[in-house]
Amino acid sequence: MEKNEAKQRAVELRELLDKYSYQYYQLDAPEVSDYEFDMLMQELKGIEEEYPELITADSPTQRVGGEASGKFEKVEHTVQMGSLQDVFSLEAVEAFINRCREELVSPEFSVEPKIDGLSVSLEYTDGLYVRGSTRGNGFVGEDVTGNIRTIRSIPLKLKGDPPAYIEVRGEVYMPRSSFYELLEQQEAEGKQVFKNPRNAAAGSLRQKDPRITSSRHLDVFIFNVQQSDGAEFTSHSQSLDYLKELGLKTIPSYKVCTEFDEVRAEIERIGNERSELPYDIDGVVIKVNDLSQREIMGATAKTPKWAVAYKYPPEEKETILTDIEVNVGRSGAITPKAKFKPIILAGTSVSSAVLHNQDFIDEKGICIGDTIVVRKAGEIIPEVLRSVKHNGNTDVYKLPDRCPVCGANAVREADESALCCPNMQCPSQLLKNLIHFASKDAMDIDGLAEAGIKALVDNGLVSSPADLYTLKKEDLSVIDGFADRSADNLLAAIERSKALGLDRLVYALGIRNIGQRAAVLLCSRFNDMDKLMNAKENDISAIDGFGGTMAESVVNALKEPHMTELIERLKKYGVNMHYETEEISDSRFSGMTFVLTGTLPTMKRDDAKKLIESFGGKVSGSVSKKTSCVVAGEEAGSKLTKAQELGIEIITEEELIRRTQNN
């Protein structure tokens, strides 16, 4: 396709994809199938790959960034993102309305559901999305532009005739269906589960990798115009109608009322319907509708006087705790779950709730047979609030000291609350550990994704990472998806993995508290697996960047019988057990500690780090009195400020490069 033809087709595809996204995510009335949408997206991606100069900032292909940022810069809000005064009774709502009537002439009130999520600001210049930030403390938030870009219901380009500049405020939330999917995933992986959709939304929006945010299927409702250049309004309801015309997904079902009885009826209506909503609400917001009247009412230092948030009281019920079930996640976390006589909460029957850990059980003095009080946190997740009566049994429940699945001695790190099974071959952990072992940053077995690993386990071919090195082509022939060529490629990838450095193997073993960087430091000190297995805690903790907890994790893990057996098998199958350290011919940065901050003009952080380390220097993530030098780029934040306060030398990327070239 010629460039001019490609350019015109790209414009057509973007318009179509924007139209279909709006229909799907905002109108809930898709005109085309998912397959047709995906084919159009693939066509646009193909054009942009062939002609990268045709990529535009508002292209639907640009929603998900390719790399993790590792940081969130600060954003100062020009217009304060204030909070609302909470009220907890209808009498308090009536008192608010009466106060407004005393100061205003015939006030109207906008009544709308209060979405339980994370407040954000979105900024558009000439109709194009340019920045997204969190509320923070109302005055300063965090720049999460890339992560917000992944939310499909947020238009990258406004419709109609948008103003030159507009900043709007909205609430990012996680739909209940997405929340349930995430819970299942976290429980299956033995991870700490989010307590409610609001926490899940907040945690997802602040992921350092926007691809993770994208996978969480967040959504948004816009409920306010913060400021605009070229658009004026007289009322809140008028501004919401305008935002809807621009293609923004506005707060649902707002109603303008004049009397308290109308307001109360709307509060009751929303309350009766909230359990049926596909998202969480934690109350109702009542605002003066006329914007000029809001100016008359004014605000306190913390909250506006022209609005309140009515909060629904959480429903609590008593029931009998009949048992405590212990589950083991694939990461080894041993999690207790309360089983109790079924009760109806927020419109649904519940009979179980996660008890988190032993500290939680001890704090609440929970015994099997107790009468307990249960509620739904955020109207979704059942949680045990307290024990109100011991029914004969006064022995506080204690978690088992051995894994209930494989029998390995359960361990609890000094600074952690979870009890864990350390056995990497425990059936409850096997799949996740195999996925980690084969991952790109570990043994990099290309072509072995989760589905393939699950098939190998299900067919009894693999029950340990070592079994991967015994696979033959005829073994793979019985599994769907492993045709001749893919089987050959997989076996070749497994063979290649044997030659990787010891640091990759140590990371692949999944030792608690030992990530990629720690594995490199460990192997730089002990460059042979036998030396590492015989290392003492004090020798390991003496490594710069290590501590007692990390050293203890390494020693304990390598003493576990299942681990020693695994390592011996890997040795037998030819997996490399040595670490080759790179010779540093020029150690001009030896003994120096650098800190990188801000966006460097030409280098990525990892590249700058490798450059410093190649000359014998060390890179730290935080500034202290021991820091030798700070390399600062654009939008450098608190690290730069601290370096200035401590009088530490600050240089640019250009100066860093000059120092490596100057002999």
Q: Annotated catalytic sites, by residue?
A: 114
Q: For 274-409, where are the alpha helices, taking DSSP H only?
A: 291-297, 358-364
Spatial separation of the C-alpha atoms in residues 547 and 558, rounded to whole Å: 17
- The two tokens of residue 624 are 């202290």
CA contacts within 13 A on the Cβ side of 489: 10
Q: For 275-349, where are the alpha helices, taking DSSP H only?
A: 291-297
- The two tokens of residue 264 are 């109360």
Residue 624 three-state SS: coil
Residues 6+ apart with CB under 8 A from 515: 507
Residue 515 three-state SS: coil
Spatial separation of the C-alpha atoms in residues 191 and 20, rounded to whole Å: 36
- The two tokens of residue 347 are 């419109």
Find residue 219's DSSP bridge partners: 173
Find residue 353's DSSP bridge partners: 338
Instruction: Considering only CA atoms, give the Rg of the chain.
Output: 29
Q: Give the torsion sign (CA, 359, 365, 368, 373).
A: negative
Q: Which of 297, 308, 288, 241 is nearest to 86 (CA)?
A: 308
Residue 292 three-state SS: helix
Q: Which of 202, 263, 256, 209 is nearest to 234 (CA)?
A: 256
Residue 341 three-state SS: strand
Beta pairing class for 165-173 and 140-142: unpaired
